[in-house]
Structure 1
């Protein structure tokens, strides 16, 4: 069964970016660079203006989710600073970093709590969607789901991604268990890929 992800609240994201951009500073980070949500004294909201970022769990590096521009990250961490995850750039990125102490007064002034609520609900729903993909699921359906997700990436990104690494980083499954499923799919001509596990092509996945 293919599980559909929640719909991004694009209007809420655009509204928050427009409102908060004047309060922040623009920063540039290179691909694979990691940044924290803040310091002991401060927390930040990040506006993703250009590029793709992921959120990783610090304890084991598990990739919890990825998003391309435009996006807004950090409200959950601002209200509940557990500091159990961090941001990683998947590509070269341009971000606006906004001191969280300046965010709430501006949200209050402009009456934007609905936009904050829509964005926070999306993030919570996305984590439920992610859990539905992998928790208590057999390995083949999990692999199939992430193969389809990988297949939907823009071609220039998709062709640079290693299939095994993509799935393992998001699921915690062993490389051998993923390879068993992927190799069987290729042998039976359900999928194809080039040497090294790149340039995935899906022909027709089994039910």
Structure 2
């Protein structure tokens, strides 16, 4: 069974970006550059204004999730600075970096804690969704789930992301186990893709 991701709280995200944008510094980040959550003394909130970013686990580079603009990242790390992950720009990005101490006072002043709660709940729910996809699951259903996710991507992303990299970065499955499933699906015409595993098209997937 293919399970869909939680719905993004777009209204809460837009409220937070509109309120916090004047407080920060606009930065431009090249593709594949990694960014920390701040210093030991000064955590940051990041507003994603343009581009695609992901969050990687530091211990093994596993991709915990990715998102496009508009988005707000950093509230969890601001309140609970474990420093076990970092941001990576997947494309050229424009971000606004804001000192977290300025963020808290502005949220207090404008009474925006509900928007913060909605966004934080979305991030938590997304991690539950991700765990349901990969924890204690057999390889084929995990691959099916991510193929379905890839099939929903815009064409521009399908042209630059291949199937193997997309699934391996998010699951830690071995190259051979992914390729075995993908090759079987293509042989039986459940999916199609161009040379190199780009531009996936899902025709149908087994139950």
TM range (shorter): over 0.9
Find the residue that maps to 1:126 and give its secondary structure: helix
Q: SS of the counterpart of 1:159?
A: helix
Match of 2:164 in 1: 164
Alpha-carbon distance in structure 2 between the residues aligned to 1:16 and 1:178: 39
2:184 corresponding residue in structure 1? 184
User: 1 CA distance for matches of 2:5 and 2:116?
Assistant: 19
Deviation readout 1:60-83 (Å, 9 max, x if unpaired): 000000010000000000000000
Report the Cα distance in structure 2 between the residues aligned to 1:61 and 1:52, rounded to whole angstroms: 17
Q: TM-score, normalised by structure 1?
A: 0.99
Residue aligned with 1:77, SS: helix
SS of residue matched to 2:102 = helix
In structure 2, how many angstroms separate the alpha carbons of the residues matched to 1:143 and 1:52? 22
C-alpha separation in 2, matches of 1:142 and 1:20: 38
Q: How far apart are residue 193 of structure 1 and its match?
A: 1.4
What does residue 29 of structure 2 align with? 29
CA distance in 2 between partners of 1:48 and 1:198 (Å): 26
Q: CA deviation at 1:58?
A: 0.4
2:144 aligned residue? 144
Aligned to 2:55: 55
- Structure 1: runs of 5+ lacking an equivalent: none
1:91 partner SS: coil
Which residue number corresponds to residue 115 of structure 2? 115
Residue in 1 that maps onto 2:39 = 39
**Post-superposition CA distance 1:97-148 (Å, at most 9, x none):** 0000111111100000100000000000000000000111111010000001
CA displacement at 1:196 relative to structure 2? 1.4
Divergent runs of 4+, >6 A: none
TM, length-normalised to structure 2: 0.99
Structure 1 vs Structure 2 CA RMSD = 0.7
Instruction: Give CA-to-partner distance per residue, 1:23-45, whole Å, 9 cap, x none.
Output: 00000001111100001221000
How far residue 202 of structure 1 moved from its aligned partner, in angstroms, is 1.2
